[in-house]
A = this chain, B = another copy of it.
Amino acid sequence: MTSRLDSPLLTDLYQLTMLQSYLDHGLEDTAVFEFFVRKLPAGRNFLLAAGLAQVLDYLEALHFTADEIAWLEGTGRFNQRLLDYLATLRFTGDVHAMAEGTPCFPDEPLLRLTAPLPLAQLVESRVINLLHFQTLIASKAARLRLAAPEALLVDFGLRRAHAGEAGLLAARAGYLAGLDGTATVLAGQLFDIPIFGTMAHSFIEAHDDEVLAFEHFARSQPANVVLLIDTYDTEAAARKVVEIAPRLRAEGIAIKAVRLDSGDLAEHARQVRAILDAGGLTDTGIFASGNLDEYRLREFVDAGAPIGGFGVGTRLDVSNDAPYLDCAYKLQEYAGIPRRKRSEGKATWAGRKQVYRRYDADGRPAGDCLTSADDTRQGEPLIQPVMQSGRRLAQPGLEESRAHALANLQRLPPPLQALQAAEPPYPVEISPALETVTREADARIGQP
């Protein structure tokens, strides 16, 4: 049942009640909404924009089925004008956005949506839902990649992701941000992401003998022998791996790696490395998993722990240190006039905006300028058209977006690449033009 995520009913009720009122009173002029994040989570230096492809998928497919209209009618909440409007609704607006994989900062729009007010309003809930989550996870995954630049990094998070779609989109966002792949098979099929897998403790436990379990697995997966060795006693199991290696080698099977999943991973890795090396298994790698995050990865790298790859699960897929972003999708212009909300602590800059990014002589970002879309500033304008009159413009594929993300992460100024908050933070200047537009919006609404 919950697989009906492409339903336009995946929205907040108030979108529909507001729509009815917009239609009742003829508020169907062009509206401009922007999605942005108000502030960075504690300890973070940047976010990585992600989720645009799924937003465009959603907008392209947007329509109500006859059953959905009938259900809405049956609630008794809506009038015929609204039901008629919804029955033929398609997304006909424009979208401008930052490319996926672009580092971004507070108040910078990741997406600008221009459409008749009822339409632009209706899509709010799902647009936020999709952009927020992937940006959240890509931003976390980018830190994993920066913490362990050379390691194989695989998303293992499906089981503790917040339900199924989160597991799929976390796999995508993680790969986009530079991970090497995921354990989630369906993400492999849907997004063409490399998939990785080893074995579970239950596989070992189902056998009466650990050695037999290892041999069974190796013979069934000869091309990908990764043996989980912590079910009972890690070092004892490493010695068993050395013991069976010659028999398997005689059958043409190499033991690609062993996996550690509990205890002091760095210490076990050192001991296991010594056991494997002494047994001639110098080509057998060590892969680790279990409560990992960017700080643990950095510790292993700094300590020179002999671990070549990591499975990162829960703390990636739920972004444990910052499980949400303070983001919003706000009306910035209606009927050609800039608008803004002035609620305490939640005021925004008015009007359509653009972000210009300047680079230093080494090609590293040196500062952004947030300005009005019709202003021109020095640097690269990051917000570009991606959908016109409901038709998607040519977009980079996931591999291209991933390359863009990796290149961008590598050229971030070193203080921003650190796991701790940079001081001073990355500079984002507000242009005089934007200040003027905002002042004028306030004056016009007569609420100084």
Binding site for B on A (CB under 8 A): 1-7, 9-18, 20-22, 24-25, 27, 31, 33, 54, 57, 71, 75, 77, 79, 117, 121, 124-126, 128-130, 132-133, 136, 156, 158-170, 183-186, 188-190, 195-203, 205-208, 216-217, 219-221, 224, 230-233, 261-263, 314, 318-320, 323-325, 327, 329-331, 334, 339-346, 444-445, 447
Contact = CB atoms under 8 A, between A and B. Distances in A.
Nearest to A25: B216
Given A13-B183, A158-B10, A202 B331 contact: yes
A17 to B, nearest CB: 5
A12 B340 contact: no
B205 A13 contact: no
B220 A21 contact: yes
A15 B185 CA distance: 10
Given A54-B2, A158-B125, A261 B343 contact: yes
A340 B206 CA distance: 9
For this chain, the copies found in one complex come to 2
B10 A185 contact: yes
Nearest to A340: B205
Contacts of A320: 323-324
A129 B167 contact: yes
Contact of A3 (B3, B20, B345): B3
A162 B164 contact: no
Contact of A164 (B10, B12, B324, B334): B10
Contacts of A198: 14, 17
A219 B164 CA distance: 40
Contacts of A164: 5, 10, 126, 129-130, 165
A232 B445 contact: yes
A7 to B, nearest CB: 5
B17 A197 contact: yes
Given A3-B4, A77-B224, 14 more contacts: A9-B185, A10-B158, A11-B158, A11-B186, A12-B184, A14-B197, A24-B216, A133-B161, A163-B163, A163-B165, A163-B166, A163-B168, A164-B165, A205-B334
A260 to B, nearest CB: 10
Contacts of A262: 343-346
A186 B10 CA distance: 5
A121 B197 contact: no
B186 A21 contact: no
Identify the interface centre among A33, A129, A319: most chain B CB within 10 Å of its CB.
Answer: A129
A124 B163 contact: no
A13 B195 contact: yes
A165 B132 CA distance: 14
A163 B133 contact: yes
Contacts of A196: 13
Given A162-B133, A198-B14, A216-B21, A186 B7 contact: yes
B200 A1 contact: no
Contacts of A166: 162-163, 165-166
A10 B168 contact: yes
19 contacts: A1-B57, A9-B185, A10-B185, A13-B183, A17-B224, A18-B203, A24-B216, A27-B207, A125-B159, A126-B164, A128-B159, A129-B158, A129-B159, A202-B330, A206-B331, A261-B343, A262-B346, A263-B343, A323-B323
Given A159-B125, A263-B345, A4 B220 contact: no
B71 A189 contact: yes
A12 B202 CA distance: 14
B447 A2 contact: no
A162 B318 contact: yes
A47 to B, nearest CB: 14
A22 to B, nearest CB: 7
Contacts of A203: 18, 21-22, 121
Contacts of A334: 205-206
A10 to B, nearest CB: 5
Given A14-B199, A197-B14, A165 B2 contact: yes
Nearest to A130: B163
A30 to B, nearest CB: 11
